[in-house]
Amino acid sequence: MMNNINIIHEDSEIYIINKPAGIASQGGEKVTSSIDTGFAEQVGQKIYLVHRLDKDTSGLMIIAKNPTSANKWTKLISSKSVKKEYLAICVGSLKNKQGIIKEDLIQLGAKKQAITHYTVEKEWTVQIEEENLTFSLVRLILVTGRMHQIRIHLAKQNCPIIADDQHGNFKLNKLLKKHLKIKKLMLAAVKLTIPNPKNTDIYQIQLPEHMADLIH
């Protein structure tokens, strides 16, 4: 049984929820808990996913209430009308404090354009086993939305997200797990900017506790 998901916003078309880390967006084989089934049970109605977050990523997700709304919001997201912002804590530092990562990704055997805007918000040093490690808090805005795009882009900049066991620094992850008890991926979708006819709606959440506790 999945714990209740925090609803940030609700209207006649959508829910905006704060998805916890460790819960898949969509069910499937070997998936024990997922938003598409667990949240539907919570609200007592069929729901429609219009985008996804990785299982290990926490944060804001838009969920449609009916097929008409799902079609509308899928188009809004794919047309980049909805701006999604993420915060990540990485080990290492980026060369520039602000920039654009343009590096194509291979998905399903095809090369796909991938673009990520980033701003380094903070850097600090942590000493572990006589080694000084630089941690970076990085704000990221997706221009494209490829699978694991942020995780791969940061890893290719030698600034991998902490606790990324697929694309990150496995040796450092093991070290950080041992000394700092870090188990969850340090990546969260923290802000949505949504246009409407009158103005722009902004929805924000604070960093999840497992990330906030790491920042000095």
> Quick one: which of 155, 190, 154 has its CA closest to 170?
155
How many Å apart are CA 134 and CA 150, to the nearest integer?
19
**CB-based burial label for 84 (10 Å; 0-12, 13-18, 19+):** buried
b/e code 28-47 from CB counts within 10 Å (16+ = b): eeeeeebbbebbeebbeeeb
> Quick one: which of 151, 88, 173 has its CA closest to 122?
88
Which one is catalytic: 54, 165, 201, 213?
54
List, in sequence order, the alpha helices (H) in the chain: 35-43, 67-78, 149-156, 170-180, 209-212
Query: Is 54 a residue of the active site?
Result: yes
- Joined together, the tokens standing for residue 140 give 């990221």
Q: Which residues are catalytic?
A: 54
